[in-house]
Amino acid sequence: MNPIVVVDDEPAIRSSLAAVLEDEGYPVRCCAHARELYDALKEQPMSLVLLDIWLPGEDGMAILKNLRNEQPELPVIMMSGHAGIEAAVSAIKLGARDFLEKPLHLDVLLDKITGALRATQSDEEAILPSDTRIETAPYQPATNRQAVELRKSGRPQCTLGDNVVLNGTGLLSGRNTGIILSPAPPNSGIQFQTLDGISIPGRITSLEDYQHAQSQQSFTANSTVLARENRRVRTVEHLMAALSMAGLDNVLIKADEEIPNVDGSALDFARLLDEAGTVDQDAEVTEAVICEKLSIGEEDPDQKYLYVEPYDGFEVTMRVNYPPPILEQQLTFNAEQDSFLNEIAPARQGEILWEGRPIQQLTPDQIKALGIGLVPEGRRIFPEFTVLENLRMGAYLRRDREHIREDLERMMELFPILNQRQSQLGGTLSGGEQQMLAIARALMGNPRLLLLDEPSLGLAPMIVQQIFEILRQIHQQQQTTILLVEQNAQLALQLADRGYLLENGKIQLTDTAANLLDNEAVQRVYLGG
């Protein structure tokens, strides 16, 4: 057998990997950088490359490109201790066989190597891409056995025709993320997997208490979250709908905690699956058949409820009763009559303009570089960083060290409590102190526009007054434009120059803040007057 070549600039990693692989019976050759690898490939053929991303000189991504051009059949597994799903997606797009996060889990590593080497053998011996130790679990109905029956469907199971990738922005986190979808063996089902090889079955095992989630400001109840132990994948609902409508039974999905939101609908997922195509497998589908009506919630026109009942096929009827002027809307979708890809409605889209330029497609760092700072709802500080480290993170795009130092001093004057707690971990601060830290962190980016989302949420009235006085100082002393979203209308209008009253996502009234405060209707409805 030809050697496995390990390419890593850290001697300890090279030696430990070599020892493990040799114990498993693999011949191994080690290289510290690109030139050593290229020389080794000239000397003899290799069976597989374990390639680190961060290398001195020519990095792993550049090496991967060269290998795909020069030796396209040579399998490459990328490794990194500092990259996330974006790097994994990029590597797969460039032709990598798989991607592993450091520190490496040896059992996962060996499974990946076994799969990659088998895939290079004859078609009869080959296994599917990204094959891992996938856990399967039998269907366990949440209701009585008479209501749901398992039956053989007579149709073959189905998987993807090829690996596909998709990048986007997380709806809840707001950060760049992505997914890698790969074919999976029969009877494996829909499986999500973290980059370090932890599998999370694509089935709901428990339901979160919505009221509790709202009170804790977790907002996970507003999306479908799959979890196993301390790992989770959020906002899977649109992807799962697209998989179901595509008739896919077995798919491995590599994700980094959150599925990309893309346009806010299932449309991009449906298009992606359509491009990949499907492959029938040598196993029969077992279907869950509804035999009795099952209901969730009280069937009342003024309440939210859901029910399923026996039907020869799959049909969804939805009724939504909106306030005027939209009123009631109904839709019936039949998967056997309608095409999901053609009938699905993309999320409504608009434009966000900054100085006449659309910015909705820009990355968060690009938006920040334009001079826009954000203090998100829930504060979202880095709990394991100190106060000082959090503030420095706010200036990560800046290179003017002297001005950064001056701004740090200014933040300490503006927020004296933060000056006292410079070395304290952010997660140990009180809610009010964390809000001050979030504001100060945003200001460290020298924004021309500061966006604040519900800065008073969950804070004591005295702390709220203190924070709003600081916002007044920021506006007056630094001439920073502030866009404030706030449910405490009385307090917000006392601070603002102009106000907009929104109801059901629509602007109902706009005027100067002074006029809105004097408006009798506004006082009665919004100000408690």
Q: Concatenated DSSP letters for 20-81?
A: HHHHTT--EEEESSHHHHHHHHHHS--SEEEEES--SSS-HHHHHHHHHHH-TTS-EEEEES
Can you list the domains of the chain with their CATH numbers? 4-119 (3.40.50.2300), 148-293 (3.30.230.20), 360-487 (3.40.50.300)
**pLDDT band at residue 31, thresholds of 50, 70 and 90?**
very high
Q: Is the pTM of this model over 0.75?
A: no
Q: State whether residue 503 is helix, strand or coil.
A: strand
CB atoms within 10 A of CB 129: 19
Specify whether the CB–CB gap between 31 and 55 falls below 8 A.
no
Calculate the alpha carbon distances from 420 to 387, 424, 466 in Å: 10, 9, 17
Specify whether the CB–CB gap between 233 and 226 falls below 8 A.
yes
Stretch 328-344: mean pLDDT, rounded?
75
Angle between helices 431-443 and 401-414 (to 10 degrees): 150
521 pLDDT above the threshold of 80: no
- Range among 77-86, 232-241, 485-494 with highest mean pLDDT value: 232-241
235 pLDDT above the threshold of 90: no
Q: Percent of the chain beyond pLDDT 70?
A: 83
Strand runs labelled E in 291-412: 294-296, 306-308, 315-321, 328-334, 353-354, 357-358, 372-375
Q: Name the DSSP letter for residue 425.
A: B
Higher pLDDT pick, 344 / 80: 80
Stretch 515-526: mean pLDDT, rounded?
75
Looking at residue 123, its pLDDT comes to: 37
Looking at residue 283, its pLDDT comes to: 93
Residue with tokens 């599917």: 128
Residue with tokens 């208490």: 209
Sign for the CA dihedral angle at 428, 431, 437, 441 comes to positive
256 pLDDT above the threshold of 80: no
Cα(221)–Cα(517) distance, integer angstroms:
35
Looking at residue 136, its pLDDT comes to: 33
432 pLDDT above the threshold of 70: yes
341-343-344 Cα angle (round to 5): 70
Distance of CA 270 to the CA centre of its chain: 18
Whole-angstrom distance between the N-terminal and C-terminal Cα of the chain? 83
Looking at residue 217, its pLDDT comes to: 47
Specify whether the CB–CB gap between 265 and 183 falls below 8 A.
no
8 pLDDT above the threshold of 90: yes
By the 10 Å C-beta count (0-12 exposed, 13-18 middle, 19+ buried), 46 is classed as buried
- Range among 126-140, 334-348, 443-457 with highest mean pLDDT value: 443-457
Looking at residue 175, its pLDDT comes to: 64
Q: Percent of the chain beyond pLDDT 90?
A: 17
126 pLDDT above the threshold of 50: no
**pLDDT band at residue 527, thresholds of 50, 70 and 90?**
low
Stretch 450-471: mean pLDDT, rounded?
84
Looking at residue 49, its pLDDT comes to: 95
Higher pLDDT pick, 348 / 298: 298
523 pLDDT above the threshold of 80: no
User: Mean pLDDT, the chain, as a whole number?
Assistant: 81
**pLDDT band at residue 157, thresholds of 50, 70 and 90?**
very high
Cα(224)–Cα(27) distance, integer angstroms:
45
